[in-house]
């Protein structure tokens, strides 16, 4: 029985996937990545929001990141933290602020036990708004960091 369990664990490790079907079968490839992404979305809060001109994590953001930490501890997958800003400010300033936001998320995840090697960051600044509009409601939705699964090994 121990040998069978060891073999099973080795297969999971080699496949890079820890998503199982209802029949106990292991998914692989694009199907695995799709199921992992769906599982991540269903079991975590992937987006955290920031105050104007800030990269400080609020208590609400930290609570959202705690859901990511728990999920990432049970799934050996890499993530990319994407930093975003609202439309105000220059392109250069917002790229730097988006990077600070993404790094704030990365630092939080690392400080809670997720390996730094599993986390990449990228800033999109103000180039990819979630909501279009020039008002506080739109700006608040665009000041964010989003954690997405990465297929990079």
Whether the pLDDT of residue 19 is over 50: the answer is no
**Contact at 8 Å (CB) between 78 and 37?**
no
Residue by residue, DSSP assigns 34-63 as: HHHHHHHHHHS--EEE--TT--PPPHHHHH
CA distances from 117 to 66, 107, 109, 127, 136 (A): 19, 12, 11, 27, 36
Mean pLDDT for all residues in the chain: 85
pLDDT recorded at residue 33: 78
**Contact at 8 Å (CB) between 101 and 55?**
yes
Q: What percent of the chain has pLDDT over 70?
A: 78
CB neighbour class for 1 (10 Å; exposed up to 12, middle 13-18, buried from 19): exposed
Q: Which of 36-40, 45-49, 117-121 has the lowest mean pLDDT?
A: 36-40
pLDDT band for 17, please (50, 70, 90 cuts).
low
Strands of the 78-84 sheet, one edge to the other: 47-49, 144-150, 78-84, 119-125
DSSP H or E run through 105: helix 91-111
Q: Which structure tokens are listed for 11?
A: 């297969």
pLDDT band for 34, please (50, 70, 90 cuts).
confident
Whether the pLDDT of residue 23 is over 60: the answer is no
Considering the entire predicted model, what is its pTM? 0.80
Query: pLDDT digits over 93-145, tens only?
Result: 999 999 999 999 999 999 999 999 999 999 999 999 999 999 999 999 999 99
Q: List the domains of the chain with CATH numbers.
A: 1-43 (no CATH), 44-150 (3.30.1330.60)
């Amino acid at each position: 029985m121990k040998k069978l369990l060891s073999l099973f664990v080795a297969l999971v490790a080699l496949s890079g996937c820890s998503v199982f079907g209802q029949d106990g079968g292991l998914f692989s490839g694009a199907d695995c990545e799709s199921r992992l992404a769906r599982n991540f979305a269903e079991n975590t809060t992937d987006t955290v929001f920031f105050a104007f001109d800030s990269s400080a994590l609020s208590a609400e953001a930290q609570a959202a990141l705690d859901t990511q930490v728990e999920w990432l501890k049970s799934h050996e997958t890499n993530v990319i933290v994407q930093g975003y800003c609202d439309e105000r400010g220059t392109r250069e300033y917002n790229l730097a602020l988006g990077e600070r936001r993404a790094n704030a998320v990365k630092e939080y995840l690392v400080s809670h036990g997720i390996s730094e090697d599993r986390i990449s960051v990228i800033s999109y600044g103000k180039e990819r708004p979630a909501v279009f509009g020039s008002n506080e409601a739109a700006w608040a939705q665009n000041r964010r960091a989003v954690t997405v699964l990465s297929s990079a090994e």
